[in-house]
Amino acid sequence: MSEWRLGIDIGGTFTDVIAVSPDGTNRRSAKVPSKPAEPVRAIVEAIAAVDLNWSDVGEIVHGTTIVTNDIVEQHFRPCALIATSGFADSIEIGRTSRRVLYRLDVTPKVAPLVPSDLRFEVEERLLADGSVLTELSDAEIDRVIAEIKATGVDTVAVCLLHAFQNPAHEIKLGEKLSEHFANVSLSHEISPEIREFERMSTTVLNAMMMGKIRAHLNRIDETKAENSLVHLMHSASGMATPDLIAERPLMLAMSGPAAGALATTEMARALGIQNALTFDMGGTTTDVCLIVNGRAEIAANRELGGQRIRLPMVAVDSIGAGGGSIARLVSGALEVGPRSAGATPGPACYGKGGTLPTVSDADIALGYLNPTRTLGGSVPLQPQLADKAIGALAAEMGFETRQAAVGITRVVHATMARALRRATVERGLDIRSFDLVAFGGAGPMHAVEVARICGIKTIVVPMFSSGFSALGCVDAAMSYSRQFTVNMKSKTWDQSRLDALLREETETLSRALVAAGHAAETLRVTHTAGIRYSGQSYETPIHDPAFDDLEALGAQFDAAHKAVYGYSTGETWELMTVRTEVSGPERELNNAEVPGGATTPAPVGHREVTFETGESANTPVYDRDALVVGEVLTGPLIVEDTWSTVVVPPRDTIRRDATGNLHIVVELDQ
Amino acid sequence: MKDTAVQLDPVSLEVIRNALTAVAEEMSSVVMRAARSPLLREAGDHSSALTDAEGYLVAQGRDVPVHLGVLSFTVREFLNKVGRDALRPGDVWILNLPDVGGNHLPDVKLIRPIFHEGDLYAFSISLAHWADVGGAMPGSYYAAAFDCWQEGLRIPPVRLVAGDEIDEEKMGLILANVRGPAERRGDILAQISATTVAGRRLEELRLQYGVAFLKAAFEAIHDRAERQMREAIATIPDGVYEGEDFMDDDGHGGAPVAIRVKVTISGETASFDFTGTDNAVPGALNTTPFIAAAGVFYVMKALYGPDIQPSAGCYRPLSVVTRPGSILDPRSNVPVVGGNHETCQRVADAIFRALVPVAAEKLSAGGPTTAGLLIFSARNDEGDYSTFYEVHGGGEGARIDRDGMAVTRVHLANVMSTPVEVIETEYPLMVERQALRHGSGGKGAHVGGDGLHRVYRMLADNISLTTMFERAVVPAYGLEGGENGAPFEVHLQTKEGTQTKLPGKHNVTINRDDRVTVMSCGGGGYGLATD
């Protein structure tokens, strides 16, 4: 039996797989259709697609959209909530603000996760410092358990006020609950942070996902070979054991984007790139994530499908524009998106009944997309339908068809550039210091013009760009991170309390990795502090904080604050949160060389392509695998592989490196 | 519509609109990141915009409905006041006077004129709600105020930055008159930076496109917004529609005050005549015509054109008429602090009610059109104030097809509430209960949403409490036979046990173990209840 390592990313439409041979020299990749109802079958088919059997598999790391989709589509299992007496309605009250400003017909908030008949309260109360005002009695626990049992649910979430400061009452409840209910989540374990509503909704969502994920994990366990290890890609760009995920399924909420961010981070490490912006353009959205100084940006709070989730997750911005975005003339301006043709009917060129022009239709009308290719190996593209859809729009604008298609791409590029700029300026960063890393089906087709608007000089289209998230799974190291509230002022610093908190958190997180077979001494521990000036509402993240030296820590904070906000004041500050990550040994860098062509390749064909400036050219098309390592080619040209198309406009250049990545240098206007 | 030398095609228009919006968004990011007032950072109570050389708004950074109305007028009124000849490159002006395209004193505006070779072609403007702008009470909300001077420092247009140098003498004068001068300086610097970034980005766009193109783009953006507004108005049947709604009182406990509107729809134009509205009031509920315009724009966008792009062009087919001397157009120097968020909501309510005959199926019944504001301020040993502002949402009004939702914010307001754990950690308060106020939504075929029931217990002595809420006397209205929601109530129970119902605009000092109970208003019901 050989010991191949597989990364498998189960997306909405396709499941990507990348397999690495035991000695690391052989890498295979494939794409198979996803099976939303039977995710494990997609795994089995993916293994077969790279010509392997379970017996060849040493380890699989898989990313999945199961949790993401259930949250977005609101497939929730009933869950009982236990809260401090007087506070169970908090799950419905939320933070009171509404989602959409100018729509009276849309409900201001999503429906509460827990209906009123599944909300329960217990007599107990902690104060803000964690001290006990009212004890939680055994009789109370027995009473609430009896009441919940009467409802018939098997899933319970517990969120008591200030439990992140003192978990004693939640622990006491949890011990009894686990004797009676299959799925139990306690807020101080899931998200030990201040802000009761966010902690409550995070804990409830976690509990709701437990049943389905446990069933999924069991099915994998039944299917796999006995010696094959299976791990999962979690939202903070690391992998976790099935045992941990069975308790914390919500860690999978951003599994897919996290894998893409990790693949980018690893590639940036190998290529010596400091700052990178990922540009993953799909059908309805484009996901953007920042890698700053070699680290993927992590956010501790995000909204998904209208729900608040407070867990460390890669900070992915989703732009509402992709290949399926519909172009329409609105009061004299050409708008593209946010409406999307989606998968059904899809762009007009799919021939599945769509008649409205989309970005993909423009791509085909302009000659970017190969008109003879088939979609996912099954649906042949129909260029004449794209022309027809765009022709109608063009007539409305008084344009030629190609001119209208250029218009569609110009607008979608402007929209994306605005979103990319927003993602960087919000963090006080200069977008021109970033490289753009383009992947996903359509990313490499549109990256150059977006980069040009943003003033970005360099684009990398990575090896395995169409299955890049699967590559991220292969690269993943075991890690487990949580963020917890500290709330300690520099004026009243309590070093021994901080040391105890850090020690306790590190031990808790390490236990999961040791249980997975890692030797304790091989584990890496990193902390990120969240510090703010007294009176501020937001913390500034400080990586590798000097926790043993108060003065040095203050200086780190002042410097970081100045970098992000442009000033520092030297005032008293407070350490609000710490995010601790414990991870296993780093994977070796993937420097495996991929041989290119020996001599300057002949184009595999030519086609008439119209570029953003409106100029058209009979453009050579190259096979990606045939490009010679190190040779610089100047556009106009197109590079194709089985799954993606790279468009290089006139005067921009492209070069393939020894590990198979493509580097594009953009001619900037100024 | 005017002729322009450069014609923009539909693609260029959308591309340049994105680029200009990106500039305004970057301004907002700068303020969000660098400002010190918690209202700016946590609640996002600030706006940024670009205007053309005449002061007409062309792009807005974040969409804060009430600010759109204000910013559409501030630069124009500012120009009227100081004159074009006073403007020089590298200057930034500061102002907050309600008369000069303003609303209330805490919303401070910084304006930078932007030139190319002596040709003024744009302005950038940053508006931010400061946590304190001086005046009688910490937080600058004084319920008993009978003139505007008691509400804080009044700043006419003043050149605070000259030739890119801050005038520290003027800065010192401002900072000496506000609480938390270090924080306020941070707010001012953030706002100056925002206008500076905008100047730099506009210069980049000018290099790329040229001034003539930018000017043509501004005009095309106005024209498009005008077209969108005309299209929206054209969907409303022609006619004259009248509506009214009432403020609870005159700000000092007097009788309810009517906001009356006569809406005249004629083809693609609409007029909103508020002449019948009651006179200015002694308390802090007065507001400005700019805020009335914000209410009009909000209603039109919410009911008829959610996709209308914010630009001054929206106002071309609209006429908004206010009567001098009325609560919407008072003489100078009257108190205004609450009018900004209370009276502007009632303007929207009055228009909604006028439109019932033609839009009943689009309307929601009355909702929590009040900030539901309580301000608790405690003074610590060093003499500094620890001030907790909290808005309290209520039940949404029901609609033709669904019940109202519990505890939310509607129309021109959308600030988030503060978590109980944060309140208890940062202020000498304990929250004893946070629950739905069951049964407070108005009955109907669809019932109004329930309000909030929150109980605060004081953990210190000498806490000053300011109230600023509405819908206590005149509740949220039912529609089409639905019943009104329960009125907003705030009760004070002292530790000795005496219980009083607090008025909606009130200042009182309270002590340890006193309790303040908020029962926010329920939403109105829709349609006749069947049982």
Do B153 and B133 meet the contact criterion of CB atoms below 8 Å apart?
yes
Chain B contact for A567, CB < 8 A?
A: yes
Last residue of a domain, one of A537, A561, A583: A583
CA distance A445 to A416: 13
Closest among A155, A156, A182 to A170, alpha carbons compared:
A156
CA distance A668 to A436: 14
Find which of A89, A422, A670 to mutate to test the B interface (most B CBs within 10 Å of its CB): A89
Question: pLDDT-based confidence at A301, cuts 50/70/90?
Answer: confident
Mean per-residue pLDDT over chain A, rounded: 92
* B292 pLDDT above the threshold of 90: yes
CA distance A325 to A446: 14
Between CA B239 and CA B248, with CA B242 as vertex, the angle to 5 degrees is 160
Is A50 within the bounds of a domain?
A: yes
Name the A residues in 219-238 with CB < 8 Å from any B CB: none
**How many C-beta atoms surround the C-beta of residue B260 within 10 A?**
18
CA distance B365 to B477: 6
Find which of A102, A131, A420 to mutate to test the B interface (most B CBs within 10 Å of its CB): A102
CA distance A42 to A48: 10
Least confident segment among A436-445, A467-476, B37-46: B37-46
CA distance A35 to A8: 13
**A670/A351: higher pLDDT:** A351
CA B387 to each of CA B141, B180, B394: distance values in angstroms, whole numbers, following the listed order = 11, 11, 23
CA distance A60 to A3: 10
For tokens 């993927």, the residue is A296
State the average pLDDT over residues A434-455.
94
Answer yes or no: do B41 and A426 touch at CB < 8 A: no
CATH number, domain at A551?
3.30.1490
**How many C-beta atoms surround the C-beta of residue B168 within 10 A?**
10
Would you put residue A527 in left (φ > 0), alpha (ψ -120 to 50) or beta? beta
Q: What is the pLDDT of residue A570?
A: 80
Per-residue pLDDT reduced to its tens digit, A112-160: 999 999 999 999 999 999 999 999 999 999 999 999 999 999 999 999 9
Estimate the share of chain B in helix, then strand, then coil, as percent rounded to the nearest 5: 30, 25, 45
- The minimal CB distance from B452 to the residues A93, A407, A418 is found for A93
The set of residues, in sequence order, having a beta carbon less than 8 Å from that of B500 and lying 6+ positions away, is B491, B492
For CA atoms B140, B144, B149, B154, give the dihedral sign.
positive
* B4 pLDDT above the threshold of 50: no
CA A380 centroid distance within chain: 31
Per-residue pLDDT reduced to its tens digit, A243-292: 999 999 999 999 989 999 999 999 999 999 999 999 999 888 899 999 99
Do A369 and A445 meet the contact criterion of CB atoms below 8 Å apart?
yes
Question: pLDDT-based confidence at A314, cuts 50/70/90?
Answer: very high
A161 contacts on B by Cβ (under 8 Å): 420-421
* A429 pLDDT above the threshold of 50: yes
* Together in a domain, A172 and A105: yes
A104 contacts on B by Cβ (under 8 Å): 302-303, 362-364, 399
Name the A residues in 146-165 with CB < 8 Å from any B CB: 161-162
Answer yes or no: do B419 and A426 touch at CB < 8 A: no
Is A557 within the bounds of a domain?
A: yes
Is A528 within the bounds of a domain?
A: yes
β partners of residue B499: B493
Last residue of a domain, one of A583, A614, A640: A583
Do A421 and B24 meet the contact criterion of CB atoms below 8 Å apart?
no
* Together in a domain, A369 and A311: yes
A330 contacts on B by Cβ (under 8 Å): 228, 307
Per-residue pLDDT reduced to its tens digit, B209-241: 999 999 999 999 999 999 999 999 999 999 999
Is A243 within the bounds of a domain?
A: no
Answer yes or no: do B13 and A334 touch at CB < 8 A: yes
* Together in a domain, A565 and A601: no
The set of residues, in sequence order, having a beta carbon less than 8 Å from that of B452 and lying 6+ positions away, is A93, A96, B392, B393, B394, B406, B407, B434, B435, B436, B437, B518, B519, B520
CA distance A474 to A263: 9
Please count the residue pairs, one from chain A and one from chain B, whose beta carbons lie less than 8 angstroms apart. 185
Q: What is the pLDDT of residue B5?
A: 53
Is A226 within the bounds of a domain?
A: no
Percentage of residues in chain A having pLDDT higher than 90: 74
Chain B contact for A573, CB < 8 A?
A: no
Answer yes or no: do B26 and A669 touch at CB < 8 A: no
CA distance A90 to chain B (A): 7
| Secondary structure (3-state) at A457 | coil
| Secondary structure (3-state) at B295 | helix
Q: What is the pLDDT of residue B1?
A: 38
Closest among A281, A275, A237 to A256, alpha carbons compared:
A237
Find which of B37, B60, B192, B434 to mutate to test the A interface (most A CBs within 10 Å of its CB): B434
Per-residue pLDDT reduced to its tens digit, B379-430: 877 777 888 889 999 999 999 999 999 999 999 988 889 999 999 998 999 9
Chain B contact for A395, CB < 8 A?
A: no
A417 contacts on B by Cβ (under 8 Å): 18, 22
State the average pLDDT over residues A23-49.
89
Is A308 within the bounds of a domain?
A: yes
State the average pLDDT over residues B324-341.
95
- Ordered by start, the domain boundaries in chain B are 10-227, 364-531
The set of residues, in sequence order, having a beta carbon less than 8 Å from that of B57 and lying 6+ positions away, is B49, B50, B51, B68, B71, B72, B75, B310, B311, B312
H or E element that contains A403: helix A401-425
Do A65 and A285 meet the contact criterion of CB atoms below 8 Å apart?
no
Per-residue pLDDT reduced to its tens digit, B484-513: 999 999 999 999 999 999 999 999 999 999
CA distance B68 to chain A (A): 13
Do A213 and A249 meet the contact criterion of CB atoms below 8 Å apart?
yes
Structural domain count of chain A: 4
* A379 pLDDT above the threshold of 80: no
* B76 pLDDT above the threshold of 50: yes
Per-residue pLDDT reduced to its tens digit, B194-206: 999 999 999 999 9
Q: For the whole model, what pTM was predicted?
A: 0.93
Do B150 and B142 meet the contact criterion of CB atoms below 8 Å apart?
yes
The set of residues, in sequence order, having a beta carbon less than 8 Å from that of B395 and lying 6+ positions away, is B367, B368, B404, B405, B406, B407, B408, B437, B440, B441, B448, B449, B450, B451, B476, B485, B520, B521, B522, B523
Mean per-residue pLDDT over chain B, rounded: 93
Least confident segment among A213-217, A403-407, B184-188: B184-188
Q: What is the pLDDT of residue B2?
A: 41
Closest among A142, A247, A124 to A185, alpha carbons compared:
A247
Is A217 within the bounds of a domain?
A: no
State the average pLDDT over residues B87-115.
96
Tokens at B294, concatenated: 């914000």
* Together in a domain, A131 and A180: yes
CA distance A548 to chain B (A): 25
* Together in a domain, A392 and A337: yes
Helices (H), A131-289: 138-151, 168-177, 187-190, 196-223, 242-247, 255-271
Chain B contact for A566, CB < 8 A?
A: yes
B205 contacts on A by Cβ (under 8 Å): none
Closest among B328, B356, B360 to B241, alpha carbons compared:
B356
* Together in a domain, A466 and A532: no
Q: What is the pLDDT of residue A302?
A: 87
Q: What is the pLDDT of residue B323?
A: 98
* Together in a domain, A186 and A100: yes
Q: What is the pLDDT of residue A550?
A: 94
Percentage of residues in chain B having pLDDT higher than 70: 97
Per-residue pLDDT reduced to its tens digit, A576-631: 999 999 999 887 777 788 888 899 999 999 999 999 999 999 999 999 999 999 99
Would you put residue B333 in left (φ > 0), alpha (ψ -120 to 50) or beta? left
Answer yes or no: do B409 and A332 touch at CB < 8 A: no
> Rounded to the nearest 10 degrees, how much is the dihedral formed by the CA atoms of A354, A356, A360, A364?
90
CA distance A656 to chain B (A): 32
- The minimal CB distance from A538 to the residues B41, B407, B433 is found for B41
Answer yes or no: do B419 and A194 touch at CB < 8 A: yes
User: What is the domain extent for residue A206?
Assistant: 76-212
Is A10 within the bounds of a domain?
A: yes
CA distance A199 to A207: 12
CA distance A423 to A435: 14
Percentage of residues in chain B having pLDDT higher than 90: 84
Closest among A284, A297, A199, A208 to A248, alpha carbons compared:
A208
The amino acid at residue A522 is: T
Q: What are phi and psi of B284, to 5 degrees?
A: -85, 30
Q: What is the pLDDT of residue B42?
A: 58
Per-residue pLDDT reduced to its tens digit, A323-338: 999 999 998 999 998 8
Residue of B nearest to A416 (CA): B18
CA distance B84 to chain A (A): 32
Chain B contact for A569, CB < 8 A?
A: yes
Question: pLDDT-based confidence at A440, cuts 50/70/90?
Answer: confident
CA distance A334 to B7: 15
For tokens 């497939």, the residue is A75
* A376 pLDDT above the threshold of 70: no
For tokens 């500012």, the residue is B78
CA distance B25 to B47: 9
**How many C-beta atoms surround the C-beta of residue B120 within 10 A?**
17
